[in-house]
Amino acid sequence: MHRKFGRNDVILIVCLILLCLVAYGGIRLFGAKKGNEVTITKDGQVYGTYALNENQTIEITDKDGKVTNTLVIADGKADMKDADCPDRLCVKQKAISRQNENIVCLPNKIVVTVTESDAKGVDGFAQ
């Protein structure tokens, strides 16, 4: 009879699992940087840009002025708290805070993206 798994097979599997865990940890620690603002686009047009360091509630409205989505910024994270779409998948997504993370509401054509502001101020060398 032949063995299905030998000692070398188990060592290989354990090494692959450890390699995956190290890669995942590296991505989480050194991957995307924290962003400092969120940009909301509706129907492909910029609806507004808001700072992540200010706690606020943004009510996103349609062209008739009806509130379709409610985005809450608190503790440096943006979270979609309410939506009038039937599936409400955007409300179920996790809060975002790292660059290029998104919350998408397809029925209302809304995309919330974390970005890094280009305005850095004047440094000592530019003065």
Q: Model's pTM, two decimal places?
A: 0.69
Confidence of residue 124 (pLDDT cuts 50, 70, 90): very low
Mean pLDDT of 54-64: 93
- pLDDT value for 37: 94
Alpha-carbon gap, residue 12 to 8, rounded angstroms: 6
What percent of the chain stands above pLDDT 70? 88
Residue 53, burial from CB neighbour count under 10 angstroms (0-12, 13-18, 19+): exposed
For 69-111, what is each residue's pLDDT tens digit?
A: 999 999 999 999 999 999 999 999 999 998 889 999 999 999 9
